[in-house]
């Protein structure tokens, strides 16, 4: 695996591959890698001849400075994991390489950039769009792989591709979970032992919500169940739970046959904010 720090070197290496008609797959990450990230590398390796992974903790997508400072960084371990996973190129730029000057671009993604994560983290997706568009320009991949764990982010990236008229195929990959169901996340590393055990309730509650839908309960009953289960106590603090149309993220008040729905959640466990989602159509 080649480890590259500058866009010039990256461009030179990738131009060589492109000349020999190799397809380039790209997996952007913020590091502190886990099996969820590696599943994206595997998905890329399956269909592309060259896989590039970037590790860059993007300052413009953090609206909370202390969250940015506390974000786990472990570049050596990450590089080892990527090497073992068969990644071809690891791109680890400095902030000044990505942002030689301040990026002042403001994107307009409409409704999907006003709800859920966007509502609680103002400017977050604008920062994501900034960094992803810059990385896309540097890597110029044929395909880019994103986790459905960040469901709203995948929708934003698809919209970004449309708006910038980029010819990149966006591949959404399934959520990888620990044995107790908790969605893998770099943030899980910051949970205490007690909090980590408690966090397993989040996916259980999501499954419970799905089962209530399957058994014909109405929306009010499903929301009440989730809120009761994650009732604020010293550990949990529910930020949002919403059942939305899967393709628009519009929150719904009832289910219509034949439509795809998704339940999305953000919940603090201690001081750590975790997100998860579950398609509500997987049992039907
Ligand atoms: P991050 O480093 O958190 O920005 O994540 C980089 C990529 O990995 C994003 O596309 C995430 O959606 C994806 N990802 C994070 N956690 C998981 C997971 N548990 N399963 C699958 N993909 C994931």
256 Cα: distance to centroid of ligand 1 (angstroms): 31
DSSP string, 82-114: HHHHT-SEEE---HHHH-SS--------GGGGT
Q: Which atom of ligand 1 is nearest to the CA of 37?
A: 8
- Side-chain half-sphere of 17: how many Cα atoms within 13 Å? 21
Determine contact, residues 144/25, Cβ cutoff 8 Å: yes
Are domains 2-173 and 186-277 of this chain identical in fold?
Answer: no
- Enumerate residues lining ligand 1, CB below 6 A: 29-30, 36-37, 39-40, 146-147, 149-150, 173, 175-176, 183-186
Rounded Cα distance between 148 and 255, Å, is 22
Q: What is the tens place of the pLDDT at every residue in 68-105?
A: 999 999 999 999 999 999 999 999 999 999 999 999 99
Whether pLDDT at 283 is above 50 = no
Domain covering 2-173 assigned CATH 3.20.20.140 in the classification: no
CATH code 3.30.200.20 for 186-277: no
Query: What contacts 138, CB < 8 A, 6 or more positions away?
Result: 7, 10, 11, 91
20: CA distance to ligand 1 center in Å?
A: 30
- Ligand 1: which of 25, 27, 29, 190 to mutate, judged by most atoms within 8 Å of the beta carbon? 29
What angle (nearest 5°) sits at the alpha carbon of residue 228, between those of residues 178 and 218?
95
Q: Which atom of ligand 1 is nearest to the CA of 184?
A: 19
Res 217 pLDDT > 90: yes
Rounded distance, CA 273 to CA 6, Å?
Answer: 33
Active site (annotated) includes residue 37: yes
Assess whether pLDDT exceeds 80 at residue 282. no
Question: Which pLDDT does position 284 carry in this prediction?
Answer: 42
Does residue 233 surpass a pLDDT of 80?
no
Residues composing the chain: 284
What token pair was written down for 261? 């729905």
- Indicate the burial class of 238 (C-beta count within 10 angstroms; 0-12, 13-18, 19 or more): middle
CA of 218 to the centre of ligand 1 (A): 32
Would the pTM of this model clear 0.85, i.e. be above it?
Answer: yes
**Which position among 17, 34, 37, 124 bears the catalytic label?**
37
Average pLDDT, the chain: 96
Domain chopping of the chain, boundaries: 2-173, 186-277
Task: With cut-offs at 50, 70 and 90, classify the pLDDT of residue 35.
Answer: very high
Which conformational region is residue 58 in: left (phi greater than 0), alpha (psi within -120 to 50 degrees), or beta?
Answer: beta
Atom number, ligand 1, closest to the C-alpha of residue 149: 12
């Amino acid at each position: 695996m080649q480890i590259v720090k500058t866009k010039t070197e990256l461009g030179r290496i990738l131009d060589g591959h492109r000349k020999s008609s190799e397809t380039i797959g790209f997996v952007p990450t913020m590091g502190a890698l886990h099996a969820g990230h590696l599943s994206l590398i595997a998905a890329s390796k399956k269909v592309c001849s060259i896989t590039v992974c970037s590790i860059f903790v993007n300052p413009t997508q953090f609206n909370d400075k202390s969250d940015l400072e506390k974000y786990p960084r472990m570049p050596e371990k990450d590089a080892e994991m990527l090497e073992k996973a068969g990644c071809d190129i690891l791109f680890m730029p400095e902030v000044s390489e990505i942002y030689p000057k301040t990026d002042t671009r403001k994107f307009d993604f409409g409704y999907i950039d006003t709800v859920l994560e966007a509502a609680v983290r103002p400017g977050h997706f604008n920062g994501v769009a900034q960094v992803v568009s810059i990385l896309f320009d540097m890597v110029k991949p044929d395909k880019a792989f994103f986790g459905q764990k960040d469901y709203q982010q995948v929708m934003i990236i698809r919209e970004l591709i449309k708006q910038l008229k980029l010819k990149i195929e966006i591949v959404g990959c399934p959520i990888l979970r620990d044995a107790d169901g908790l969605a893998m996340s770099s943030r899980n590393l910051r949970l205490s032992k007690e909090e980590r055990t408690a966090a397993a309730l989040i996916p259980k509650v999501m499954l419970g919500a799905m089962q209530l839908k399957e058994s014909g309960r109405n929306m009010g009953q499903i929301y009440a169940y989730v809120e009761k289960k994650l009732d604020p106590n010293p550990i949990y603090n529910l930020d949002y739970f919403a059942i939305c149309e899967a393709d628009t993220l519009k929150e719904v008040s009832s289910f219509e046959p034949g439509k795809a729905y998704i339940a999305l959640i953000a919940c603090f466990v201690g001081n750590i904010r975790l997100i998860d989602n579950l398609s509500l159509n997987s049992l039907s």
